């Protein structure tokens, strides 16, 4: 599913003394099955942009086209509801939205809400819990007995069970221990590759962007400054520094070695080194 953002302007508190332009005539495209990272310093508009992609906020001006559905200034709830079926969103600290008495019921909640029968919802919940490596004997446990990292994975399974074609993830590893951090990031990469889902990641972690994203979109002051392959943008130390972003460790190391006259080639993911 293609998402096209066309001349998107987003103004908070329009027409009041608190009026604030968060996005200013932004145009870009998200192609199916790719892994995107949206980066930029705090306040650049990342969170506003992703909320437009699934209809949580409607444009002040311009349009967002999600497949053949159009989100504009006056789009009706019926269309927004359709868009939300295609575009899933994992908010920051998604475990805060867990509420049911068992893990299984919590993951079934989304599919049930979409109109699936109990049996269908249960089949989906079991599929995604298994994908996450949750053993069947744990399905009846309370999600509140789990560790922070496990709770987050259950919450993510609840979004995956709705089988969105596009999955937006906002700072998905905030507050996680290093092991859960890697597990959660590997999970998104896996579902992108196995189910051909588009992933749109918002993060401050440039190591994760370098490791996982195919394409990067750099925002500043509500505008799109640069977009393109991850390697082109994340190896540009000046650009990253200008935007108060960390330089990925591997890029720092490679450039340090180059300065010492040692040429070091990074091996692309999933490529065997000989
Ligand atoms: P980021 O996610 O990159 O930190 P945001 O999209 O949250 O950026 O914010 C973009 C701009 O819009 C910022 O200047 C921010 O202060 C402003 N903003 C965000 N949310 C609101 C809001 N609810 N009301 C008013 N201004 C907001």
Segments in the chain forming alpha helices (H): 46-53, 77-86, 103-113, 118-131, 148-160, 178-195, 206-212, 230-234, 237-242, 249-259
Task: Kindly state the average pLDDT of the residues 19-28.
Answer: 97
Residue 192 has φ and ψ, to the nearest 5°, of: -60, -45
Residue 268 has pLDDT above 80, yes or no: no
Task: Report yes or no for ipTM above 0.90.
Answer: yes
Res 97: pLDDT: 85
Name the packing angle between helices 103-113 and 148-160 (round to 10°).
30
127-158 CB burial, b ≥16 within 10 A, e <16: ebbebbebeeebbebebeebeebbbbbbbbbb
Taken in order of first residue, the domains within the chain and their CATH numbers are 3-259 (3.40.50.300)
What's the start-to-end Cα distance of the chain, in Å? 37
The residue whose CA has the least distance to atom 24 of ligand 1 is: 12
Q: Nearest CA to 8 among 41, 44, 52?
A: 52
User: How many whole angstroms from 59 Cα to the centroid of ligand 1?
Assistant: 14
Given a contact cutoff of 8 angstroms between Cβ atoms, the answer to whether 124 and 163 are in contact is yes
Question: Which residue is closest in CA terms to ligand 1's atom 5?
Answer: 45
Average pLDDT over residues 169-178: 94
Residue 266 confidence class, pLDDT cut points 50, 70, 90: low
| Mutate which of 39, 43, 91 for ligand 1 pocket (most atoms within 8 A of beta carbon) | 43
The CA distance from 41 to 203, in Å, is: 10
Residue 28: count of CB within 10 angstroms of its CB: 16
271 pLDDT above the threshold of 60: no
pLDDT in tens, 76-95: 999 999 999 999 999 888 88
Which protein residues are within 6 Å of ligand 1, measured from CB? Answer: 12-13, 20, 22, 40, 42-48
């Amino acid at each position: 599913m293609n998402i096209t953002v066309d001349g998107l302007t987003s103004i908070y508190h329009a027409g009041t003394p608190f009026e604030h332009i968060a996005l200013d005539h932004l145009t870009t495209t998200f192609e199916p099955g790719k892994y995107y990272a949206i980066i930029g310093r705090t306040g650049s508009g990342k969170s506003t942009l992703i909320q437009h992609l699934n209809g949580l906020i409607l444009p002040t001006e311009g349009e967002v086209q999600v497949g053949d559905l159009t989100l504009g200034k006056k789009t009706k709830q019926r269309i927004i509801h359709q868009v939300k079926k295609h575009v899933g969103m994992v908010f920051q600290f998604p475990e805060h939205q867990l509420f049911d008495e068992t893990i299984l019921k919590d993951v079934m909640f989304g599919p049930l809400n979409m109109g699936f029968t109990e049996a269908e919802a249960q089949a989906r919940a079991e599929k995604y819990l298994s994908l996450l490596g949750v053993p069947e004997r744990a399905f009846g446990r309370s999600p509140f007995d789990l560790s922070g990292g496990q709770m987050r994975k259950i919450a993510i399974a609840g979004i995956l069970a709705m089988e969105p074609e596009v999955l937006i993830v906002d700072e998905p590893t905030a507050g996680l221990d290093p092991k859960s951090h890697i597990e959660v990031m590997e999970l998104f990469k896996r579902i992108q590759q196995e189910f051909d889902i588009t992933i749109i990641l918002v993060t401050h972690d440039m190591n994760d962007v370098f490791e996982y994203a195919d394409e990067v979109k750099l925002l500043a002051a509500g505008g799109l400054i640069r977009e393109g392959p991850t390697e082109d943008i994340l190896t540009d130390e000046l650009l990253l520094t200008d935007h108060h972003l960390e330089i990925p460790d591997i890029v720092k190391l490679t450039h340090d070695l180059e300065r010492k006259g040692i040429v070091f080639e990074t091996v692309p993911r999933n490529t065997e080194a000989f």
